Every structure is written in C-alpha cells, then in structure tokens.
Structure 1
Amino acid sequence: MRTVDIARRTAAGLVAVALGTTAGAAAPDRPAQAGGLAPVRVEEASDSDGSVTKVATATCPGARSVFAAGARIVNGNGGVVLTAMEPDAELTSVTVTATARTGHASAWSVVAYATCDSSTSPPVRATATVGSASTAEVTCPSGTLLVGTGFRLDGPVDQTYVDEVAFGSGLRTVRVHAGGTAVPASLTAVGVCKEPTQPTGPPGVRVEAASGHDGTWPKTVVTADAGPNAHVYGVGARVTGAGHFFLSALLPSATLRRAGAEAVRASQLPGAVAARVGAAEDGAGSLTVSGMELAVFH
C-alpha cells in the first residue's frame, strides 16, 4: 500500500506527481502479454479560468472502447464539485463536468480520463438513476463483470457532493453516495461491464489503499504498482469522517499500474454558508481508494 499526504502542497499538484498526469495525451501503446496492445489512458483538460461550470471529454482512439473512466479537479481547493464522470452510451468517450460553489472565484480546471482497450467481447454500459435520494446503485447485466465506474450528480453543489463511488460485492455493482446538507435532485450510478474472456492472468481483483484517519485535508491515496501482468481499469473511492468532505479526483496512473483518489474539505466561501452548516465540527476523516486490476483482454 502506498499513501501520500498532501498537507502542505496543493492536491492537484501531488496527484500529478503521484500518477503522472499530463493533460491532452494518450499513453503510448505497449506490447501486451498475449500479443496485441495493452490498454491506454487518454486525457483531456478544460480551460483554466473562473468559469462556474466546466466540461472535458476524453475520446478513445481508433476502434478502442472505453473500459473505465477517471476525473480530476485542478485548483478547486474545496470550492469546486465533480458533478459527472460519465462514459457515453456508445463507450467511445468519457465526459467529466464540475461546478464551482458560490463564492469560488479563482481559476480552476477539470480533466477527463478514458481507459481505452479492445476485446473480442466489447464492454457495455449499465446505468441506474434515483431521484431525491443520496444513494444510487447499478448492477452489471447477467453474464458480465464490472470493469469501470461512473456517476452523475444533479443538485445544488453548495450543499451536496459525491463522497463515494464504490465497487459492490462480487465486483458486479457500482454504488454512488452523495453527502452534504441536501439531497440531490437525481443521482446516477454508471457501470462499464463486459463478458469474461480468457485473460493472460487472473480475473478482476480489487486492490485498496487508505490514508490515515486524521484532521489533515486534502488527502491523496495511491495503490501499489500492479506489476507486469495486470492493469488498473476501474477506480473507486470513499471518504469517511464527521465533516463536509468530498471526492475531487478518481483516476488511474498514466501507466495504468496504479489507482489514485483525492478528497478535499468543503471550503468556507461567501454565499455558500449552507454547505458548511456545522463546519466547526469538521474533523478527522480518511480516504480509501480501490482499483480494479485485470489482465489484458485479447
């Protein structure tokens, strides 16, 4: 397990160091163990300015499909909320959206990540949406297993935010939870699922890493290297603790060997006081990241 604390550095900066993020590029093709090519990570960043809402879309090259999604807020500092990390229905791209909370005036940006691969058994997307509820869960279709995650949140970002995107039991479900002082208007859980194929190693394995449980925020956590025979596809994370904490990044490393996540404390902003009701009680918490390690599909 590898844990990185970012008490004295910006969250975005340390995620970039730990996971090798450089917006606007795809990792080069690498030979796969069973012939063919290994998966690649494609990323695309929005402009960095003071706009309230930003959108970034990462598109898979050629005939590759989206197998997993990732997202990251840069320079949000607890004032910007991820509202979607969503593969499209055709699984050709991943769109990430984020919205600044009332009173957040500094420049920020958002980055979308798509983990792209090909297989004799293409992936499919499964979604489940709930209205006026804090938890949404989707299950992969019969005969398929989970390879990637996603979500969409519709609601007042001053008062609600995503603090969990988790793999369910049996690696067939995605559970999304929204915390805060309000219930979202709607919440969607997204799963990228595929039929098992003969891999070059064992089927999907969940790996985890966790931060310490303390009052230092923001937090970044990165899993150990997957080694030469597997890659990280889906990424999940959850924040626990008595306070207003939410996820600001879920992404695989540029080499697709590690999974990383970042969590921040909701900042106190002029005009967004409702999001910080009971702010004096904010205290200790922790961040856990989960990575879905799978062998190459060929």
Structure 2
Amino acid sequence: FGARLDLDEAGGAVVDLMISPVRESRGKPVISTQKALKELKEATGERNEYSALQTSWADWSRAHLDHRIERGTRKEITRRQHLSPETYGLVKDQARSEAAQERDSGRAMTRTLRMTSEGSPEALQTLRDGLLLQREAQSHKRNPRGYEPPRGKWDLDESLAGRLGDSPWPIIEDVREPAMEVLTAAMKFGVSMDDDQNGYDSGKMLFPALADRMHLTAALAKCAEFCARTEAFVKNLTARVSGKEALPYPDYDGCWPEHARQAVERNERSLGLRPPEASHDRSEDDGLGL
C-alpha cells in the first residue's frame, strides 16, 4: 500500500515497501496494520509486535529462501542502542576516517621497512622501537581494562626474597626490563605518559589516529607505574628480609617515574575507563556562603 525511496548520507538508495493484508470492514476492503500486527504477535507468542515481525520474517525466509537463515539476536541480549540517522552517519564517517588513518600508517610503516631493510643498525633499532610501541598501543586498544605491561624474567611477588643479593637493583632491573624498553623507545620518539596533558599532539607521524595515540599514552602510563611499583616492592622486600621494621617506601609515588599513578588515572578517565573526576566546591573550604 506504499513505497518509499530512502537516500542515506553517502548517496545510496534503499527502497522501503509497506505491505499489509487487506481486511473486510462493513463490506469494504480496508488496510488494518494494527490488526495484522496483533494477530502476528499472538501467532508467534512474542511480547511485542515488532519482535513478532522479526520472528515471522525469519521463519518465512528459512522455509522459503535458505534453511541456514537465523533470526537476529534480540536487543535484550545485545544491549545495542538505536542511533538516529544523523548520529549513525557521524559514527560511520569517524570510522572511515580512522580506517584511512590506519591505512596511511600501514603505508608509512611499509616505506620504513623498505628503507631500513638494508640500513644501518641505528635505523633498524629505530624500526624495532616503533614496532614495539605499535604492539603496546594495539594491545591496550584491544583490551584497555585488562592490559598488563610486559614483564621480565621474574614475577613481582614474595618469591623474589630468595633471589635478593647485596643490592636490590639487579632484581628490580630483571623484573621491569621489558617495561623499561617500552619507555625508552617512547622517549626516542618524543612520546610519554603525560601526552594527555598536551592534547596528544606528540607521535602523530607514527600514530596518525588519535585513538591510537590515546591508547599508547595510557599504555606508557601503566608501564611507568609498573616500573615505579617494582622498585618500591623490591626495596621494601629487601628491608623486610634484612629485619628492618620501617619500610622505605610506603607507596611507590616517590619512585621513578614519579607521578605514574596519577598519569594512569588521567589517561583512564580520558578513555572513559574511570568516571570523571568530581568537581570540588571551594566555597566549603573557604567558609563562603552562597
């Protein structure tokens, strides 16, 4: 009983057909979509009419088109949110832009590989450092909540007590060596755990996509935090093994790199992994009335 031509934001066309059974009412043929939907709901046992449409269409398609066709996953399971055409268009545009940036990054990496395949040891080391940072950024991007900095040959736990010598530093370096390699590579490229404070402007040549730079910065912050935490843990363990009651480091904020804990918190807030920092009403501290 109706047809419509939809044009999306990219210029493609979709034809919508409005079809409904014809009913008899007072001896005249009429279209009653409401009655048809109600009957369909009762026939399928669904809770609402539009779920019934999905189920009925899937059943018909499976019977008449292809037996492998399955009904789509229900919204209650996927928890997907409906987007307006305008919002969906913006999301698609952003996805296309990031895909193009990733392609550009891939081409740049290919050119670098060709240039350095027979290059100097310094050039090869630069390439290795770039690939190392790419690995950590993508690892954090795939699983930002579960990301763990690369670890050394020993686990950071009480079992290190049996390996301690006169100085805690050999154990500290063994545990955090891979994370230190990441931080050292980052310094060579001029990126750090504090790039969130300058708008993530650093590292654009290696990481054209903003999302990649954000995840790299967060990964660097977590590597830095692991290095600081390792130093504090091993030095405290050394003190306990030596019979000292007072621990030299009640926390790791004073260990290098300093302020790593705060950098992790900032970067996780930037990525939406933590709630925004609550604003503080200074009038309460200053004793000012409203």
Give the TM-score normalised by structure 1. Answer: 0.23
More helix, by proportion: 2
- Structure number with greater Rg is 2
More strand, by proportion: 1
Q: Which has the higher contact order (CA 8 A, sep 6+)?
A: 1
